[in-house]
Structure 1
Amino acid sequence: MLAELTNTPAPPETPRRTAVRRVKIWTPILLALAGAVAGGQLLRPLPEPRLVASDTAYTLDGQFSVPWPAKGQGALRVPGSGDIGTFGEQKPVPTASVAKVMTAYVILKSHPLRGGDPGPQIEIDAKAVADGASEHESRVEGLVAGTKFSQQDMLKMLMIPSANNVARLLARWDSGTDSEAAFVEKMNAAARELGMTNTTYTDPSGLDAATVSTAADQLKLADAVMKEEAFRAVVALPSAEIKGLSTPLYNNNTLLTVNGLSIRGIKTGSSTPAGGALMWAAYKSVGDETPLILGTLMDQHVDGPDPNGANSLILVQANSRKIIEAVRQALASAPTVRKGQQVGRVDDGLGGSTPLVATKDLNVIGVPGQRLKLTLRPGAAKVPHTAKAGTEIGVLTIGDGEGAKSVPVAVGTELAEPSFTARVSRLG
């Protein structure tokens, strides 16, 4: 129409003119959309940065072979450093009197003893007296119904001469009934809490062959129960005299008195079905530290007849001694982390990465070839989005369990927020 009014004909339509016109129309629209998208991306909260470890485990230099016996099953651990290893098929086998460790553990959890406190007085009942006259099982004889002993003295009777009648008495005392069934259920509940998935308790003494476990499971119990001061004090005793008993108590664990082994417990077990079993705790001074060494050896049987497992008990202690001597000799402090060593990184969630370095040297006590667990976690505060180089923002833990060693970690270079490009181009 304008062309007609001006008598100037419109230029002919061409692909180039069409393309130019479309560019002029759509460019402002697209720029506006891009600006809106970019603005929206910039307004979105940044993802939380996270720490990523370079490795999840560290293997100490060298090699060490545990002198395991030819048969049975066993497990070894240095609390704080972690497991040394296991041997044999970890299948449930009778525990014999090693079951009393769980009895003591449950008693102390329900009735803790602190600072040398002997605890409440426990009355001897008629059943404990009658059980004390039984044959072919360990027991404390000469108990008199109606007399009382402290909880601490009862634990000594339980753990030192391995008294079955006292194990049953403690179970009845704890549950306040004439039956041990409720206490046995508490034993199994405690086993589940400790992750002892291949363990079943059917009685508090271990006399019943249906009370079964594995060396690996019993090692978990050893680690837990040795944290109890009152328990450690009892199981380290080779013998004890208790007022009210006519004869002293003597420990079946002959390793307690062997010079140079530093054995401080824990419990022997022997029966025809179980053979010989031993849960033990030893110490060794390494520099200015004295780490604990825990071990379990089960299902040890001598050839030929062995009533009540008496000879198998000798066998399991002899085999355990070889293991303890070898581990104590091999145990040493080894360098695991050096100051300035990169141990991980900060992932900002948008493709950015900042190195994390150890702030000091760290040595860990273990045996050659031992595989140590590495755990990287934030410090007291959450991981920041920005930080100057050298700022401590996390902790690297080497080992497993109570007593594991840690070293602070810091950002090796400046930690900065994600770039503009990373923020606007992120997906999801």
Structure 2
Amino acid sequence: MEAADSERTAVFRAVKPPPAAEPPKASTFVPLRTDEPGQQPKTPPPAAKAPAAKAPVTDPAKAPSSAATPSSKAAPPAAPAAPAAPARPASLDRAERTTQQPLPPKPPLDMLADLTNNPPPPPSPLRTAIRRFKIYFPLVVLLAIILAVVQLVRPLPQPKLVMTSKSSYTFGGSKPELPWPSEGQAYMAAAGLGSLGQSGEQKPVPIASVTKSMTAYIILRDHPVKKGDQGQMIDVDKTAETEGKKNNSTDNESTLDTVKEGDKISEYDAIAALMIPSANNIARLLARWDSGSQEAFVKKMNDTAKELGMANTTYTDPSGLDATTVSTAEDQVKLGLKLVEIETLLDITKKPSWVDPSGKSWRNWNGLVPYNDSLGIKTGTTTKAGGNLLFAAQKKVGNTNQLIVGAVLGQHKPPIIDSVLAASKQLMIATQKALEGAPVVKKGDVVGYVDDGLGGRTPVVATADVQAVGWAALTVDVKLVDGGGKIPQTAKAGTEIGVLTVGDGASQVKVPVALQSDLAAPGIGSKLTRVG
């Protein structure tokens, strides 16, 4: 019975389960940015530790018994339940999914909101305008200061003269009628004033020794001689001596027969021999001295003619002996207007005679000098060319010596030299009588002003009466010029600041102009407000 009871009773031994393993501690992660705008990131609470699983205590006495049959076996004990995994905070899941990247810098107001935990105020037009004003106003002030400094240190513009008086004057009456020659051609003009008229057809004709006027012009242009000086010394060659001994009575060739090879002749005396006794051998000597050969010099003569606008002139030799050297009265006057600007030349041509280096005296073929304020220039006579003369004269009008230039060509009435001199004399005297003066501006009249370039204007006045020189129906130009120097920025009243001119060329009337009041430099206001 006891044995049977023991067989039916199962003795259970309590099985101690193994200790549960602690779950790994979760790392603490602070998010760089919260999901909600304007909120400070919160540190997640530390993960709660899972409680250790306690092994169930089994009391054999209290263990339930069950009826066991001899054939039944004890059931294996149930496996303990696995402890539940602790819950993971949602922030950790988000943090693991977020890649930690550097964030762009926040605007100052957003950073301030983060620090104060206050959201930035909503934008408004007024707040935007104030914000822009605070940004741009200092820049505008800085630019204004820079611009003002630049304006103050910029160089001042150069003052200039501006004329307010009339720019021309016209003489009353009708144009004068001149006594033109009955044959050939003629032309008359006044230096700086223009032409008084012409007669005959202006076609190219031989001009004989009038050609030497161009030779003299080129020599004195390229080798200037001051008044009173002798200029360069020129070696006399064998050709000049040989040509001086020739006497070609058919063509009335004039030469200077006192020169010898090895001699030296001054430039001044060579020009005198050229223009007074009309020495052909000296003309050719000067050509060789200047250009190396007569051919090269003739080319220079034709080039110069083109420069002066002598369109109907052709030179083939420096003396004019060749009849193929041709021109017109008008073209020769164009040359004469340049010759009267050479003081040394007029000092020679107005002489009634000249004494050469050997002591021999030579008569000037231009019989108009020294009468009626004639200034001479050059005669030219050959059988084929007839009598020809390029002449100049002067007339005192007011304080000005007015220069006139005329040319008469193709006078064939014998004696041809007397015919051309008589025709030229009539034209010269009639032109001198036609010249007159007329007041244009009186002393003290305002004729213009100095413009300082920044709006300042200082009047200028004539320092003397201004008289125009001309003839009836002529219009002359009136100009205000600076006199060739720079106008100062400041000057006292009465300072001569320029010149008022009437006409052009060698006979131009010139009167200084002066400041009516002090010339002051532009002020700060003008400097700051100038444009350009």
TM-score, structure 2 length as denominator? 0.60
The 8 Å contact of residues 346 and 375 in structure 2, kept in 1 or not, is answered as no
Could you give the per-residue CA deviations for residues 184-218 of structure 1, whole angstroms, max 9, x where no partner exists?
456567768x8466455331211334434513432
Q: Tell me the CA shift for residue 249 of structure 1.
A: 5.9
The residue identity in structure 2 corresponding to 1:268 is T
- CA positional deviation for 1:376: 0.9
Aligned to 1:76: 189
Deviation at 1:371, TM superposition (A): 1.4
Return closer, same or farther for 1:53/1:142 CA change in 2, 3 Å cut-off.
Answer: closer
Aligned to 1:267: 378
| 1:73-124 superposed Cα distances (whole Å, 9 cap, x missing partner) | 524224xxx2332645977654322112233455667595975979889686
Residue by residue over 1:128-178, the C-alpha shift from the partner in whole angstroms, topping out at 9 and shown as x without a partner, is: 333x2352x222489589598976877666434545455345545x4697x
Contact 1:113 1:230 in 2 (8 A): no
Alignment-derived partner of residue 350 in structure 1: 454
Distance 1:264-1:41 versus aligned 2 partners, 3 A rule: closer
> Which moved further from structure 2: 112-121 or 386-395?
112-121
Residue 388 of structure 2 is matched in structure 1 by 277
Q: Distance in 1 between matches of 2:480 and 2:301?
A: 31
Equivalent of residue 39 in structure 1, options 149, 152, 166: 149
Q: Deviations over 1:10-41 (max 9, x none)?
A: 87755455445544543333233222222222
Structure 2 distance, partners of 1:228, 1:115, is 11
One-letter amino acid of the counterpart of residue 280, structure 1:
F
State the SS of the aligned residue for 1:291.
strand
Larger radius of gyration: 2
Following superposition, the deviation at residue 327 of structure 1 comes to 2.0
Does structure 1 retain, via aligned residues, the 8 Å contact 2:380–2:389?
A: yes
SS at match of 1:284: strand
Asked if the contact 2:444/2:464 (under 8 Å) is kept, the reply is: yes
Please report how far the alpha carbon of residue 315 of structure 1 lies from its aligned counterpart in structure 2 after TM superposition.
6.0
> 2:320 matched to 1:206?
yes
| Residue type of the alignment partner of 1:102 | M
CA distance in 2, matches of 1:5, 1:176: 99
* Residue 52 of structure 1 pairs with residue 162 of structure 2: yes
- State the match for 1:335 in structure 2: 439
Structure with bigger RCO (C-alpha 8 Å, 6+ apart): 1
SS at match of 2:479: strand
Cα pair 1:77 1:219 within 8 Å, conserved = no
Q: Does the 8 Å contact 1:125/1:145 carry over to 2?
A: yes
Equivalent residue, structure 2, for 1:101: 213
AA partner of residue 181 (structure 1): E
Rounded to whole Å, the distance in 2 between the matches of 1:24 and 1:115 is: 81
Please state how far the C-alpha of 1:410 moved relative to its aligned partner: 2.5
Q: 1:200 to 1:377 in 2, by over 3 A?
A: farther
Greater Cα offset, 204-213 or 103-112: 103-112
SS in structure 1 opposite 2:245?
Answer: helix
Counterpart contact for 2:379–2:388, Cα < 8 Å: yes
Aligned equivalent of 2:465: 361
Contact map agreement 1:219 1:294 (CA 8 A) in 2: no
Alignment match of 2:427 (pick from 323, 330, 345) = 323
Range moving further from structure 2, 37-46 or 62-71: 62-71
The answer to whether residue 403 in structure 2 is matched with residue 293 in structure 1 is: yes
Structure 1 pair 28–100 and aligned structure 2 pair: CA distance change class (3 A): same
Alpha-carbon RMSD across the aligned residues, in angstroms, is 4.8
Alpha-carbon distance in structure 2 between the residues aligned to 1:251 and 1:144: 17
Q: Percent identity?
A: 39
In structure 2, do the counterparts of structure 1 residues 277 and 11 end up closer, same or farther at CA, with 3 Å as the change threshold? same
* Structure 1: runs of 5+ lacking an equivalent: none
CA distance in structure 2 between the aligned counterparts of 1:59 and 1:394, rounded to whole angstroms: 20
- Identify the residue that residue 100 of structure 2 maps to in structure 1: none
User: How far 1:279 moved relative to its partner?
Assistant: 1.3
Alpha-carbon offset, residue 59 of structure 1: 2.6
Aligned residues: 406
Q: Given that residues 270 and 310 in structure 1 are in contact (C-alpha distance below 8 angstroms), is that contact kept between their aligned partners in structure 2?
A: no
Calculate the TM-score normalised by the size of structure 1: 0.72
Corresponding residue for residue 125 of structure 1: 241
Amino acid paired to 1:133: N
Distance in 2, matches of 1:323 and 1:395, equals: 33
- Provide the residue aligned with 1:62 in structure 2: 172
Measured in 1, the distance between the counterparts of 2:235 and 2:418 equals: 35
Q: Report the counterpart of residue 479 of structure 2 in structure 1.
A: 374
Distance (Å, rounded) in 1 between the aligned partners of 2:462 and 2:342 = 34
Q: Which of 389, 397, 412 matches 2:516? A: 412
Q: What one-letter code is carried by the residue in structure 2 that aligns with 1:219?
A: G
